Amino acid sequence: MSRKVRVGVNGYGTIGKRVAWAVSLQPDMEVVGVVKTKPTWEALSAVAKGFKIYVPEGKEKMFEDAGIKVAGTIDDLIASVDVVVDATPAGVGASYASLYRRAGVKAIFQGGEARDVAEVSFNALHTYREALGRDAVRVVSCNTTGMLRVIYAVSRVARIRSVRGVIVRRGADLKEVKKGPIEGLLLKPVKPPSHHALDVKAVVGDWLDIITYAVVAPTTLAHLHILNFRLDGGVRRDEIIESLRSTPRVILLDSAYAPTSTAEVRELARDLGRCGDIYEVVVWGDSVWVEGEEVSLAYMVHQEAIVVPENVDAIRAVTRLTDDPVESIRLTDKALGIGGWMP
Ligand SMILES: NC(=O)c1ccc[n+]([C@@H]2O[C@H](COP(=O)([O-])OP(=O)(O)OC[C@H]3O[C@@H](n4cnc5c(N)ncnc54)[C@H](OP(=O)(O)O)[C@@H]3O)[C@@H](O)[C@H]2O)c1
């Protein structure tokens, strides 16, 4: 495609606003506009960033009364884009699927939607080629994206026989003042596997023996995972470390002065001008334990940011801007400043 791919974002919340900004930074894409259903502070922020606002039919006056200029309706936006990134709340995206299909625009859904909303469950390292030219793909959840990157790194060293994991999930995003828990640790679900294991299988295939427990914790900063792998054959620790170091979108903390908490990693990112958003999985080097065929490790996932580069790659895959995942990841990462920033 010689012109820039035209992108609309439906659902301008935690994920949608970050994806819109990330798309606006790409050399081969442009943001035509974003959908808001209410004239909230996030609508004002979208206007301040120069994004055109599209609204559900009949809501134009509500926005105009709030002093927010409306560029058109959702239908108008859909009619003028090549791709819609649907970042509406979990389960709402499916209600738009037929609208996107009828309009002949490609759709990128998020991990809160059921697997069958799309033809492919997407992760750039695993299923980029499967997504080429598809009409609908689903970028899997933040936790699943984190696991998939680490699974990819380990699978480059040896065939994985099984994965067992504990996922400590943040209770809410920073802006979600009505969510929790604010005290206590909540096993959700009590009986494993949590949906994350099933979502990993949706990407890599049912052959993988994977069980995950999920615990919701009173924090907004990040998730923390501990995974244990059993491999086919023994591996050396330095092989795992090297593979983690060379896997895209994985940061290995290996300095003697490395931060040891999610809070300090987030603060370090802010110190280094990252607006607090960490697109990479951050693995604690000292947590990597290898004995024979067994590998364990711990890492953090910044839930608000990690799926953002995956959405950008998903746009390139469905529009076939490039058929090469390595090239797409390179372009996305360059535009977003991914990798090489952690001292
Ligand atoms: N937050 C995370 O950590 C995270 C991480 C990975 C994936 N995800 C997934 O990403 C998706 C979006 O989650 P999110 O956290 O970004 O949610 P969010 O912060 O609640 O944002 C969704 C936005 O959609 C808008 N919206 C609500 N109903 C709508 C409708 N019918 N049509 C169009 N827009 C509507 C809302 O804004 P207005 O109504 O005010 O316009 C809301 O701000 C979900 O599938 C979620 O599972 C979330």
CA of 153 to the centre of ligand 1 (A): 30
CA of 17 to the centre of ligand 1 (A): 9
Q: Which atom of ligand 1 is nearest to the CA of 109?
A: 45
Amino acid identity, position 343:
P
Q: What is the pLDDT of residue 343?
A: 78
Does the beta carbon of 94 sit less than 6 angstroms from any atom of ligand 1? no
DSSP 264-297: HHHHHHHHTTSTT---SEEEEGGG-EEETTEEEE
**Residue 142 falls in the annotated catalytic set:** yes
For the record, the structure tokens of 161 come out as 């026989």
Q: What is the pLDDT of residue 124?
A: 98
Q: Which residues contact 250 (CB under 8 A, 6 or more apart)?
A: 149, 150, 153, 244, 280, 281, 283
Does the beta carbon of 141 sit less than 6 angstroms from any atom of ligand 1? yes
CA of 140 to the centre of ligand 1 (A): 14
Closest Cα to atom 39 of ligand 1:
37
pTM: 0.97
What domains does the chain contain, in order, with CATH numbers? 5-140+307-336 (3.40.50.720), 143-301 (3.30.360.10)
β-partners of residue 38 are none
* 292: region left, alpha or beta (phi > 0 left; psi from -120 to 50 alpha): left
Helix axes 142-155, 237-246, angle to 10 degrees: 130
Residue of 10, 12, 14, 53 to mutate, ligand 1, most atoms within 8 A of C-beta = 14
Q: What is the pLDDT of residue 1?
A: 63
CB 146 within 8 A of CB 223: yes
For the record, the structure tokens of 215 come out as 């615990």
CA of 44 to the centre of ligand 1 (A): 17
CA of 131 to the centre of ligand 1 (A): 23
Above pLDDT 70, what percent of the chain? Answer: 100
Residue of 110, 169, 176 to mutate, ligand 1, most atoms within 8 A of C-beta = 110
CB atoms within 10 A of CB 335: 18
Per-residue pLDDT of the chain in tens (343 residues, 90 and over written 9):
679 999 999 999 999 999 999 999 999 999 999 999 999 999 999 999 999 999 999 999 999 999 999 999 999 999 999 999 999 999 999 999 999 999 999 999 999 999 999 999 999 999 999 999 999 999 999 999 999 999 999 999 999 999 999 999 999 999 999 999 999 999 999 999 999 999 999 999 999 999 999 999 999 999 999 999 999 999 999 999 999 999 999 999 998 899 999 999 999 999 998 878 999 999 999 999 999 999 999 999 999 999 999 999 999 999 999 999 999 999 999 999 998 888 7
Q: Quick one: which of 341, 315, 342, 343 has its CA closest to 329?
A: 315
Q: Which residues contact 255 (CB under 8 A, 6 or more apart)?
A: 343
Does the beta carbon of 76 sit less than 6 angstroms from any atom of ligand 1? no
Q: What is the pLDDT of residue 48?
A: 97
Does the beta carbon of 88 sit less than 6 angstroms from any atom of ligand 1? yes
Q: Give the DSSP H or E segment for 14.
A: helix 14-24
Residue of 9, 12, 15 to mutate, ligand 1, most atoms within 8 A of C-beta = 15
